[in-house]
Structure 1
Amino acid sequence: MTLRKELTDRDVRILVSDSLNLIDKTQRQLNLPIMPNIPLTSRRLKQGNFKAMYINNPKGKNYSMDFGSFQPPASIFLDKRLPSSDHPMDMPDFADTLTVYSAVHEIIHADDHVGGDKLLLATCKHILSTHEDKLEKSLQIIKKEGASSIIKDYEDLASLWAIQYVDMVTHYRGYVVLRHMHYPKIDQIWSRLSNDYFPPNLLTCIEVSRGSDYVFSLFTERMGEYCLIEALDEYNCMKEREAQSYMV
């Protein structure tokens, strides 16, 4: 297989513009708060900084989905190699969809920033006030493993968990957009994320049982009441109920 042409800065700018239109159309058609601040975010990104660059993925995670980044106030970077992200496979649809998915993902991060990162701050506060026992146990493990120079206290750990939750939510919102627009291979891309410790497909599993309106309510109306821990607990309860129904 021949590797495809790498992304350019101009490509990233076009991707961001097209993806904003994609998100706006999906949001209006589904009437879901995918990007609550989209008018202001769109205006800000029109003056944004867009770069194609080499972004190193974590070792051992070929499909980590870390192919972009957002830097406040309005900079979006995408990996130059996204058009060849299916390598060594020969699945151009996969690469094309992953490229758009990556742009959508970073745009949603930008929208959160425009809105004051409310979900991040509320989730961190929730973890500190509700899950002190889990923070304590986790911090003990971290200290035993010698990683306490990075995570020093409850606040550091709660912040990390909140960031992970927000990223999970961002993945879900991006998936909803591309699923609605029937992008090819999106389900295959989504399944790759199931290898993460807190896979974002926890939310699609909950969605199957409770509906998309319920899932979106978790990070809108119920902001500050829910995090990775509640998501995992809810998922496990669903699986237990399913197992019991099979046994009856």
Structure 2
Amino acid sequence: MVTLRRELSDADVRRIVQESLRMISQTQNDLGVPIALNMWRTKLRLETGSFVAGAVNRRRGNRYGMDYGSFAPPSTITLDRKLPSSDHPLDMPDLAETMTAYSGVHEVIHADDHTGGDRLLLATREHILREHRDKLEKSMAIIQSEGGCSAIHDHGDLASLWAVQYVDMATHYRSYKVLQHHRYPKLDHIWSMLSDDYFPPNLLTCIENSRGTQHVFSLFTEQAGGYCLIEALEEYNAIKERDSCSYTV
């Protein structure tokens, strides 16, 4: 996928989306992992979709620093028109090329999740409400003590926010696997850009290194509704503690 040092056009976004669909399908077939479970229906839906090169506003609830795209149901994908210069001021064209491909894949996966009824999102929200009521109560108390938040009125709103953050973390991981499979340059640089967060998506690559790729993908399928940001952090901390003990011994 070649990007020029100019702003993207709507036609460029359409091309990037088509290439993203191809790469996701190939990666799924080659690796045998469920990156996008509704791909054939998503392809059909995006055939008549809208593709926009514009200015991208951060999605509500998204905490990640790298956000150059958005998906609006049922089939609109927007990419930041300035993506070809997203490496500024580093002057690393390979990084901008990979960032552009990454953003396209990321939004196509969001579109695929929507095609499937956002099952992971809804199951995660219900899991949080069911299993983490105590943490919701503590967090709501903190929010209220600091003057409240216009977007969060109750436990349901907060659970929705945490579920959105978890799904975006899972989407980043799936996007990473697609570009890793296609050997895009400077991918590790992008991954490190996402690490400055309470729940960075590289939690999942750490878990993958310990328990395997199939285990991580099972979190989004067989174990959907039994796992969220909280379990991911707990599993990550347990791995680090075990590794630390092994090193000490």
TM-score normalised per structure 2: 0.95
The aligned amino acid for 1:146 is G
Q: Deviations over 1:82-124 (max 9, x none)?
A: 0000001110000000000000000000000000000000000
Q: 1:29-67 deviations in whole A, cap 9, x for unaligned? A: 000000010000001101100000012469xxxx82210
Partner of 1:83: 84
Distance 1:50 1:97 in 2: 19
**Runs of 5+ in structure 2 lacking a partner?**
none
1:69 counterpart residue number: 70
Count of residues paired in the alignment: 242
Q: Report the CA distance between 1:148 and its aligned residue.
A: 3.5
* Aligned counterparts of 2:168 and 2:151: Cα–Cα separation in 1: 20
Q: Is the 8 A contact 1:8 1:51 kept in 2?
A: yes
Tell me the equivalent position of 1:151: 152
1:22 aligns with 2:53: no
Partner of 1:210: 211
Q: Secondary structure at the match of 1:194?
A: coil
Deviation at 1:149, TM superposition (A): 2.8
| 1:105-159 CA-partner distances (Å, limit 9, x unpaired) | 0000000000000000000000000000100000001111113332111000000
2:216 matched to 1:245?
no
SS at match of 2:21: helix
Paired residue for 1:235? 236
Runs (4 or more) in structure 1 with deviation over 4 Å come to none
Question: Does the 8 Å contact 1:57/1:64 carry over to 2?
Answer: no
SS of residue in 1 equivalent to 2:172 = helix
Do the aligned residues in 2 keep the contact of 1:162 with 1:227 (CA within 8 Å)? yes
Q: Secondary structure at the match of 2:52?
A: strand
The answer to whether the 8 A contact 1:93-1:185 is kept is yes
Alignment correspondent of 1:170 = 171
Partner of 2:39: 38
Equivalent residue letter for 1:127:
I
Alignment partner, residue 98 of structure 2: 97
Q: Secondary structure at the match of 2:185?
A: coil
* Secondary structure of 1:195's aligned partner: coil
SS at match of 1:135: helix
**Equivalent residue for 1:138?**
139
Query: Which residue of structure 1 aligns with residue 107 of structure 2?
Result: 106
> CA offset at residue 247 of structure 1?
1.3
Matches of 1:75 and 1:65, distance apart in 2: 20
TM norm structure 1: 0.95
Amino acid at match of 1:246: Y
Equivalents in 2 of 1:87, 1:103: separation in Å?
19
